[in-house]
């Protein structure tokens, strides 16, 4: 992302949070005009009180922001803590302490671990660079994604560059919504002109979003302009000022929408458009009322076209305000479909509308007949996860003596009702699975990230103790590519989607697959219970391979297909409750090792051991169609998705293997997101699957 001249950014981990980044810096090599807009919450955090008293300002050089602790409601010590951080950062940057502003976000009522922030100041300063994303990550709390916006603006013969980032996910309500946002630009702007343009931008952006109607103690939106673009300084009341205000507005709208979209537990963005109102303020308030209605939000979560709630919510607001405007004469559209036509319900195809409401954005339009004013508000749906995230926020987020904030999601912290439901549901599955076999293909991120590796090992051991008999087949993951690269191998062609494999390649692959990945996985599984047994496809001729021939007889080298599985060996092991862990190397008739795709091996083994289930762990949510997860489909439907090109590449290999397994008698195949810890357990022991289920 192109960034404005003279600005640099940093994001580091200083130790407020257990391991994620928690300290961000925005720095300008030239003095900036600074503007800010802040929460109107009367219980404002210390850094907010400081910054609000000092902007608009000139000669600002940077802003330091931390996440993990809000530095709010901790008494007068909060002001000293915030000041100590600013002083340390100023010293590290070699600028005056007054040249630094600060912001905080996180848990309320926990003091900042100032020593850690002060100690991290030099490394924060040293980490400065062009990567604004790193700073954006360092201000996250429950955010799930980075929020960035960028613009350029032609002004006085040069292009001024704007780059901005924000955070926000819960405790978000209009006036201002809970956000930290930082807009940086190299335009030259007078401080007051920057302030008025920023304040104006708030009205149609951050003041028009709501996630939960809760106003935070820490909202701060800053703009810094350092003038290095060299344009004549923008003053108030000029056409350039108007253009600046519009640019800031569109940046803030982008960021605000992203904040709404990433609301706690949100699965969808809601856009509410009100038109035909007698006044703008009225239009804004009505749009926000609908976007903030819990019943509307819950209906959107369930893709339920219950439009009555939309008119209920505007009607309530109009009535309590005693406005002279008639909601019964309005028209209402949901996803472009007219649901109420100004006189009564418009007949709608509920099934079709429901399908449209499953889109990631749901737009609701209300058009009144009394005037010309309009407004747009954004919100998100209300999911089970909102309560989950926020019910646990402080009980599961504990601050230790040194100020470190970490999450504790042990089951002990949950309500008795939740635990009861979970146990009843899980236990009913356990009896169903006893002595059944499941083949799990282990691949993707689950093979790379330590925490995911550990949760995978844990899951396999749990499945075993629940009476299920698992067989693990692993892939090669990124290790294979690294090793081949290092050895100068693997530079071969791809024919029909298959990597042509040379004799040297297959040796190196065996070294990694059998020698490294397999032994590591086995050791990990055997840390708590010693039942995993590592097997190469060569062991006892477990996998007999036949040389695979490409289309039109093309030579693919040492790529094999499965000719035979030594079922007897697996039976012996499964009978004695061992967990076979298979490295996908096949033994050819020529005595050579063959590279056999792990997805295919998993399917063949599942057929051979008459497995109940075949599970693929991968790096996507499951099978996607147009970005949307297909949670269940039949073999026939899957065949069609392969043929029409919806399922391609690596997923097509899995899909074909799934079809083969089903044809061979496996009852169901699951494709799961290996990036989510414990997804195997969630799939098998709860009612709602988490990935894609392919059934016969």
Task: Report DSSP state, residue 551.
Answer: G
Residue 619's binding partner among ligand ADP, Mg ion, none (Cβ under 5 to 8 angstroms by kind) is ligand ADP
Judged by CB under 5 A, the residue of 650, 667, 676, 677 near Mg ion is: 650
- Phi first, then psi, for residue 452 (nearest 5°) are -70, -35
**Least separation, in Å, of the C-beta of 475 and Mg ion?**
6
Nearer Cβ to ligand ADP (295/624): 624
**CA 661, 665, 666, 667 torsion-angle sign:** positive
Residue 256's binding partner among Mg ion, ligand ADP, none (Cβ under 5 to 8 angstroms by kind) is none
**CA 203, 206, 212, 214 torsion-angle sign:** negative
Residue 618's binding partner among ligand ADP, Mg ion, none (Cβ under 5 to 8 angstroms by kind) is ligand ADP
Exposure letters 17-54 (e unless 16+ CB within 10 A, then b): beeebbbbbbbbbebbbbbbbbbebeebbbbbebbeee
Nearer Cβ to Mg ion (132/585): 585
Size of the site for ligand ADP (CB under 6 A): 14
Nearer Cβ to Mg ion (314/621): 621
Q: Which stretch binds Mg ion (CB under 5 A): 561-569, 575-583, 604-612, 650-658?
A: 650-658
Residue 620's binding partner among Mg ion, ligand ADP, none (Cβ under 5 to 8 angstroms by kind) is ligand ADP
**Least separation, in Å, of the C-beta of 635 and ligand ADP?**
16
**Least separation, in Å, of the C-beta of 358 and ligand ADP?**
17
> Which residues, at least 6 apart from 487, have a Cβ–Cβ distance to it below 8 Å?
504, 508
Q: Which stretch binds ligand ADP (CB under 6 A): 103-111, 307-315, 525-533, 617-625?
A: 617-625
**Least separation, in Å, of the C-beta of 692 and ligand ADP?**
8
Write out the two tokens for 603.
Answer: 């399917």
Nearer Cβ to ligand ADP (156/650): 650
Judged by CB under 6 A, the residue of 444, 490, 534, 537 near ligand ADP is: 444
For residue 613, give the H/E element and its range.
strand 613-618
Residues labelled catalytic: 178
Told to check if 476 binds ligand ADP by CB under 6 A, we report no
Q: List the one residue out of 96, 7, 84, 1 whose CA is nearest residue 47.
A: 84
Q: Which stretch binds Mg ion (CB under 5 A): 204-212, 218-226, 625-633, 649-657?
A: 649-657
Q: Which stretch binds ligand ADP (CB under 6 A): 51-59, 101-109, 363-371, 618-626?
A: 618-626
Residue 645's binding partner among Mg ion, ligand ADP, none (Cβ under 5 to 8 angstroms by kind) is none
Nearer Cβ to Mg ion (331/597): 597
**Least separation, in Å, of the C-beta of 480 and ligand ADP?**
11
Question: Residue 71: which region, alpha, beta or left (left: phi > 0; alpha: psi -120 to 50)?
Answer: left
Please tell me the distance from the alpha carbon of residue 645 to that of residue 624, in angstroms, as a whole number.
12
For residue 154, give the H/E element and its range.
strand 147-155
Please tell me the distance from the alpha carbon of residue 150 to that of residue 182, in angstroms, as a whole number.
12
Size of the site for Mg ion (CB under 5 A): 1
Nearer Cβ to ligand ADP (416/649): 649
**Least separation, in Å, of the C-beta of 643 and ligand ADP?**
12
Which parts of 345-415 fold into alpha helices (H)? 350-356, 384-391
Nearer Cβ to Mg ion (10/671): 671
**Least separation, in Å, of the C-beta of 131 and ligand ADP?**
25
Residue 16's binding partner among Mg ion, ligand ADP, none (Cβ under 5 to 8 angstroms by kind) is none
Q: Cis bond leading into 283, ω under 30°?
A: no
Q: Which residue is nearest to ligand ADP (CB)?
A: 650
**Least separation, in Å, of the C-beta of 600 and ligand ADP?**
11
Q: Tell me the per-residue interface mask from 623 to 652 with ligand ADP, x by CB under 6 A, - otherwise.
A: xx---------------------xxxxxx-
DSSP string, 512-542: IIIIIIIHHHHHHHTTTS--EEEEETTGGGS
**Least separation, in Å, of the C-beta of 650 and ligand ADP?**
2
Nearer Cβ to ligand ADP (310/623): 623
Write out the two tokens for 519.
Answer: 């032994």
Q: Which stretch binds Mg ion (CB under 5 A): 37-45, 317-325, 546-554, 645-653?
A: 645-653
- Phi first, then psi, for residue 490 (nearest 5°) are 70, 15
Other residues' Cβ atoms within 10 Å of the Cβ of residue 361: 14
For residue 366, give the H/E element and its range.
strand 361-367
Nearer Cβ to ligand ADP (624/667): 624
Residue 582's binding partner among ligand ADP, Mg ion, none (Cβ under 5 to 8 angstroms by kind) is none
**CA 575, 579, 584, 588 torsion-angle sign:** negative
Task: Report DSSP state, residue 96.
Answer: -
Residue 170's binding partner among Mg ion, ligand ADP, none (Cβ under 5 to 8 angstroms by kind) is none
Please tell me the distance from the alpha carbon of residue 463 to that of residue 615, in angstroms, as a whole number.
13
**Least separation, in Å, of the C-beta of 440 and ligand ADP?**
12
CA dihedral 327, 333, 334, 339 (to 10 degrees): 80
**Least separation, in Å, of the C-beta of 520 and ligand ADP?**
17
> Which residues, at least 6 apart from 540, have a Cβ–Cβ distance to it below 8 Å?
566, 569
Q: Distances from the Cα of 401 to the Cαs of 12, 18, 111, 405, in angstroms?
A: 21, 13, 10, 10
| Binding residues among 194-223 for ligand ADP as defined by CB under 6 A | none
Q: What share of residues in the chain are helix, strand, coil (percent, to 5)?
A: 40, 30, 35
Please tell me the distance from the alpha carbon of residue 416 to that of residue 426, in angstroms, as a whole number.
15
Please tell me the distance from the alpha carbon of residue 409 to that of residue 372, in angstroms, as a whole number.
51
Told to check if 513 binds ligand ADP by CB under 6 A, we report no
Told to check if 619 binds ligand ADP by CB under 6 A, we report yes
Residue 631's binding partner among Mg ion, ligand ADP, none (Cβ under 5 to 8 angstroms by kind) is none
Q: Which residue is nearest to Mg ion (CB)?
A: 650
Nearer Cβ to Mg ion (305/674): 674
Nearer Cβ to ligand ADP (69/455): 455
Contact residues toward ligand ADP (CB under 6 A) are 443-444, 475, 618-620, 623-624, 646-651
Contact residues toward Mg ion (CB under 5 A) are 650
């Amino acid at each position: 992302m192109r960034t404005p001249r003279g600005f640099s950014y940093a994001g580091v981990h200083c130790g407020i949070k257990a391991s994620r980044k928690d300290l961000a810096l925005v720095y300008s090599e030239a003095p900036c005009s600074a503007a800010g807009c802040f929460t109107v919450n009367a219980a404002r955090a210390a850094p907010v009180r400081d910054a609000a008293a000092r902007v608009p300002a000139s000669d600002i050089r940077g802003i330091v922001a931390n996440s993990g602790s809000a530095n709010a409601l901790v008494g007068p010590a909060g002001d000293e803590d915030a000041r100590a951080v600013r002083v340390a950062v100023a010293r590290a940057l070699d600028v005056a302490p007054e040249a630094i502003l600060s912001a905080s976000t996180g848990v309320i009522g926990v003091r900042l671990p100032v020593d850690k922030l002060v100690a991290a100041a030099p490394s924060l300063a040293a980490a400065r660079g062009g990567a604004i994303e790193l700073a954006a990550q360092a201000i996250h709390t429950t955010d799930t994604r980075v929020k960035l916006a960028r613009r350029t603006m032609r002004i006085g013969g040069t292009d001024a560059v704007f780059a901005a980032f924000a955070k926000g996910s819960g405790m978000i309500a209009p006036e201002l919504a809970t956000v930290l946002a930082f807009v940086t630009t190299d335009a030259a702007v007078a401080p007051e002109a920057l302030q008025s343009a920023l304040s104006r931008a708030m009205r149609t952006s951050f003041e028009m979003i709501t996630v939960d109607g809760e106003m935070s103690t820490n909202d701060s939106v800053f703009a810094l302009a350092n003038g290095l673009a060299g344009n004549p300084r923008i003053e108030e009341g000029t056409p350039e000022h108007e253009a600046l205000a519009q640019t800031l507005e569109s940046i803030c709208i982008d960021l605000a929408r992203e904040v709404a979209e990433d609301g706690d537990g949100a699965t969808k963005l809601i856009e509410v458009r009100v038109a035909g109102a007698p006044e703008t303020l009225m239009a804004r308030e009505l749009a926000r009322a609908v976007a903030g209605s819990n019943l509307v939000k819950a209906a959107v979560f369930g893709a339920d076209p219950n439009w009555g709630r939309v008119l209920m919510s505007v009607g309530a607001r109009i009535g309590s305000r005693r406005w002279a405007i008639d909601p019964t004469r309005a028209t209402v559209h949901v996803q472009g479909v007219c649901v109420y036509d100004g006189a009564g319900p418009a007949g709608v195809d509920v099934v079709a509308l429901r399908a449209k409401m499953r889109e990631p954005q749901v737009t609701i339009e209300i058009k009144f007949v009394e005037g010309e004013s309009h407004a747009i508000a954004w919100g998100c749906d209300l999911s089970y996860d909102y309560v989950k995230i926020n019910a646990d926020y402080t009980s599961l987020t504990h601050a230790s003596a040194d100020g470190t904030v970490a999450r504790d999601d042990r089951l002990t912290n949950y309500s008795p009702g939740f635990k009861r439901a979970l146990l009843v549901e899980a236990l009913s599955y356990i009896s169903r699975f006893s002595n059944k076999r499941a083949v799990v293909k282990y691949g993707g991120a689950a093979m790379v990230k330590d925490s995911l590796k550990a949760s995978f090992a844990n899951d396999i051991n749990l499945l075993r103790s629940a009476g299920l008999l698992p067989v693990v087949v692993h892939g090669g993951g990124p290790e294979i590519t690294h090793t081949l690269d290092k050895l100068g191998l693997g530079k071969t062609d791809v024919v029909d989607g298959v990597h042509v494999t040379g004799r040297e390649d297959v040796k190196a692959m065996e070294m990694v697959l059998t020698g490294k990945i397999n032994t590591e996985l086995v050791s990990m599984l055997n840390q708590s219970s010693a039942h995993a047994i590592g097997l190469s496809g060569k062991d006892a001729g477990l996998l007999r391979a036949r040389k695979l021939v490409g289309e039109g007889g093309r030579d693919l080298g040492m790529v094999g297909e499965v000719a035979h599985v030594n079922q007897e060996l697996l039976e012996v092991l499964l009978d004695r409750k061992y967990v076979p862990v298979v490295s996908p190397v096949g033994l050819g008739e020529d005595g050579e090792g063959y590279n056999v795709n792990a997805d295919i091996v998993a399917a063949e083994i599942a057929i051979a051991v008459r497995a109940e289930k075949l599970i693929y762990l991968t790096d996507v949510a499951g099978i996607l169609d147009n970005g949307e997860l297909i949670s269940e489909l039949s073999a026939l439907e899957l065949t069609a998705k392969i043929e029409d090109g919806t399922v391609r590449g690596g997923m097509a290999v899995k899909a074909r293997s799934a079809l083969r397994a089903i044809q061979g008698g496996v009852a169901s195949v699951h494709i799961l997101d290996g990036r989510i810890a414990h997804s195997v357990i969630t799939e098998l022991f709860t009612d709602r699957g988490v990935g894609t289920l392919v059934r016969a």
